[in-house]
């Protein structure tokens, strides 16, 4: 018989609590749905892919059928959060799914009767994460005739990672500052604009929508994925990286070379010192540079004309006079030994945005935009 793990059983309890609140009947585990969900979570980990389209281009229904499940209706939820396999991680996965309208609709769908839940600790894009696949099913007549294939009373025989309780750090309804400890911490800021200091990949900031604008300050490579947190600031002098989530994020690098990845929504990326790589992702993104030193040598990987902008408003374009001057964009022309000129030119298959702030006719900084671009004044905040 197929046996769910203790954390998968906890996940089912959370799902059924949500269904009860919505007036839907509880779901029961099905062994074949457990198999299909386990297999898809493992496939996403092995292939570094996050998608409902699985092995050999299969759909969720294809995978359930291949596992031997006879369905007349089905649904699938998938998600991942950064960190290790703990109860806190499972609860965060459930919270994220509940906050997503499409996933929530599957969870409370009164037509579904059975479920498989597959949890898998793995990696994606180099980050340690926990994947979950939830396969929902309404059995057909043949499937209904099959005997129960899940042992619901035998304790789990395997566990991907032995669950260990995470230290819990809680804030108030005000603007709190919460500090992670030497272990993996579960930090709950609550209402207000909260700040979280993290130093372990397993540290998590637990927030809900509408609880303020929150910031994670991290001394390690860190991802906001799966957390309702808007801002991420990297500290220290090590070459670490930061990733946003589906919210409008502000990502700030440190003094070293960072890779900042905005993901979805409208993000602001500022690498600060070092030769940084900035990846906006989807949405209308702003690549922000505050000084010639910060701008020099940075790379913008995915600039999209008409939606993204390069902001140079924090740089004094003319150091020969007092005040904060704006750049004058001169297209692909060469510099004219006039302070404050900004030009864009192509070289080696890429495009460079360069500025002359002292009028000597030489670039004081150059930002690389991958690929061939025809920049216009509208692409900049000058």
**Domains of the chain, each with CATH number or no CATH:** 6-145 (3.40.33.10), 168-381 (2.150.10.10)
Residue 140 Cα distances to 37, 104, 257, 336, angstroms: 19, 24, 56, 76
User: What is the three-class DSSP state of 333?
Assistant: coil
Greater confidence (155 vs 264) lies with 264
pLDDT digits (tens, 9 = 90+) for 46-77: 999 999 999 999 999 999 999 999 999 999 99
- Could you identify the residue written with the tokens 């600039």? 303
Q: Is the pLDDT of residue 306 over 80?
A: yes
User: Which two structure tokens, joined as six digits, stand for 218?
Assistant: 């991290």
Q: What angle do CA 85, 103, 48 make, to 5 degrees?
A: 50
Pairing of strands 350-356, 341-347: antiparallel
Indicate the helix (H) or strand (E) that contains 260.
Answer: strand 259-261
pLDDT digits (tens, 9 = 90+) for 74-122: 999 999 988 889 998 999 899 889 888 889 999 999 999 999 999 999 9
pLDDT of residue 165: 46
Residue with tokens 């140079």: 312
Contact 274, 283 (CB under 8 A): no
Place of tokens 């566990």: 159
Query: What is the DSSP secondary structure assignment for residue 25, as one 8-state letter?
Result: P
């Amino acid at each position: 018989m197929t046996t769910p793990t203790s954390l998968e059983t906890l996940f089912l309890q959370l799902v059924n609590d949500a269904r009860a609140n919505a007036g839907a009947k509880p779901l029961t585990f099905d062994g074949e749905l457990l198999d299909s969900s386990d297999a898809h979570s493992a496939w996403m980990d092995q292939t570094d892919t996050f998608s409902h389209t699985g092995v050999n281009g299969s759909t969720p229904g294809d995978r359930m059928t291949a596992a031997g499940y006879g369905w007349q209706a089905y649904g699938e939820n998938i998600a991942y959060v950064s960190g290790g396999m703990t109860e806190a991680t499972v609860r965060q996965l459930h919270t994220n799914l509940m906050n997503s309208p499409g996933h929530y609709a599957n969870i409370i769908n009164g037509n579904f009767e059975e479920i498989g839940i597959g949890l898998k600790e793995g990696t994606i894009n180099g980050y340690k994460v926990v994947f979950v696949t939830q396969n929902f099913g309404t059995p057909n007549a043949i499937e209904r005739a099959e005997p129960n294939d899940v042992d619901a009373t035998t304790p789990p025989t395997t566990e991907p990672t032995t669950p260990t309780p995470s230290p819990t750090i809680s804030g108030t309804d005000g603007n709190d500052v919460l500090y992670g400890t030497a272990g993996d911490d579960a930090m709950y800021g609550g209402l207000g604009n909260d700040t979280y200091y993290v130093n372990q990949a397993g540290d998590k900031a637990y927030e809900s929508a509408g609880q303020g604008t929150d910031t994670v300050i991290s001394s390690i490579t860190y991802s906001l994925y799966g957390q309702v947190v808007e801002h991420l600031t990297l500290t220290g002098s090590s070459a670490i990286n930061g990733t946003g989530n589906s919210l409008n994020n502000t990502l700030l690098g440190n003094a070293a070379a960072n890779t900042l990845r905005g993901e979805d929504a409208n993000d602001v990326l500022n690498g600060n010192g070092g030769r940084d790589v900035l990846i906006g992702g989807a949405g209308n993104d702003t690549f922000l540079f505050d000084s010639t030193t910060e701008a020099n040598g940075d790379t913008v990987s995915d600039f999209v004309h008409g939606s993204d902008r390069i902001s140079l408003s924090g740089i004094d374009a003319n150091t020969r006079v007092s005040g904060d001057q704006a750049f004058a964009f001169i297209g692909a022309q060469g510099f004219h030994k006039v302070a404050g000129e900004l030009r864009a030119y192509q070289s080696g298959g890429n495009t460079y945005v360069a500025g002359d702030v002292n009028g000597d006719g030489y670039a004081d900084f150059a930002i690389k935009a991958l690929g061939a671009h025809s920049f216009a004044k509208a692409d900049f905040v000058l």
